[in-house]
Amino acid sequence: MSKVYLKEQEYGKENVRLAKVIRKEKWHEIIELTVRVLLDGEFESSYTKADNSMIIATDSMKNTIYILAKQSSCVEDIEIFASEIGQHFITTYSHVHKATISITKHKWTRMLIDGKLHDHSFLRDGEDVHDTKVVVSRKGITIESGLKNLLVLKTTGSAFHGFLRDKFTTLQETDDRILSTSIDATWNFNTISTDSIAKIPFNDIFESIKQITLHTFATDNSASVQATLFLMAKNGLEKHSEIESIRYELPNKHYFTYDLERFGLKNTGKDSDIFVPVSDPAGLITATVARVKE
């Protein structure tokens, strides 16, 4: 019989849904989160010996998230709130070596009513989200934040030509096309101490990276998705010294011209205005851009 061993393990609670209302007299904020907790530590006996004496129940993890959310003044700063959750498990349980906390902040935008921002009413005007993964261990803390599901499109300012052609190539070169993608971006922060984490403007950096991404997408006369992606990341790193690297994933959301020649209608070149959205298959362009360490 072959000998086996437990190579690695983590366990925890996922998809913990949480909403917190922050009231400042009549002015309210709504924060909606989805939280995942994964713990790594001295839990081997629960796997190999059916001994649950070291297990922290995942139901207790769920309760901990709600209790800490009630007590915390930083729930809207998800990177800080995630570090608070992680620190709780590390400091409360000596046999927990590492806590990985992932949080997604769901989008609620304040309504504009009669030309004024409403004090307690919101709408969801897109599926893009702010998320983070914070790893808290006895060696320190690492933070990765991200922007996910940002669907964008521009009707011109994008070309694609000069690519390698061989006997399998059928794609036609173009000087002008619709460019659309659903942007996922993640960025890693430089080494962070638990004392300095509260000093980092995580929400401001998130909003800045989002605006840099949108501005670059809209204004770059794109030679390819690859070239635009690199420029997005370069601009973000130049703006924010706190960030060590940025990764983008940009899947193509294709819009192809529809053949109307058979009906006696021209729908090519400058006369093209009828397109068919095609979701699959799709190209996927990814890259991680990092600073050169001096």
Coil, helix or strand at residue 228 = helix
Known binding residue 40? Answer is no
Q: Which of 13, 130, 240, 253 is flagged as catalytic?
A: 13
Q: Which of 34, 58, 142, 257 is flagged as catalytic?
A: 58
Known binding residue 36? Answer is no
Q: Give the Cβ contact number of residue 268 at 10 Å.
A: 10
Nearest in space to 287 (alpha carbons), one of 241, 237, 220 = 237
Known binding residue 58? Answer is yes
CA separation for the pair 285, 277 (Å, rounded): 19
Nearest in space to 147 (alpha carbons), one of 165, 174, 126, 170 = 126
Known binding residue 21? Answer is no
Looking at this protein, which amino acid is placed at residue 272? Answer: S
CA separation for the pair 69, 60 (Å, rounded): 14
Q: Is 170 a catalytic residue?
A: no
Known binding residue 124? Answer is no
Known binding residue 165? Answer is no
Q: Is 58 a catalytic residue?
A: yes
Given a contact cutoff of 8 angstroms between Cβ atoms, the answer to whether 173 and 160 are in contact is yes
Q: Which tokens is 239 given?
A: 């703006």
CA separation for the pair 35, 134 (Å, rounded): 11
Maximum Cα interatomic distance, the chain, rounded to a whole number of Å: 77
Starting at the edge strand found earlier in the chain, the sheet holding 27-41 runs: 11-24, 27-41, 96-106, 129-137, 140-154, 179-189, 243-251, 284-290
Known binding residue 225? Answer is yes
Burial class (CB in 10 A: 0-12, 13-18, 19+), 20: middle
Q: Which residues are catalytic?
A: 13, 58, 254
Binding residues: 58-59, 160, 177, 225-226, 252
Binding residues for urate: 58-59, 160, 177, 225-226, 252
Binding residues for O2: 252
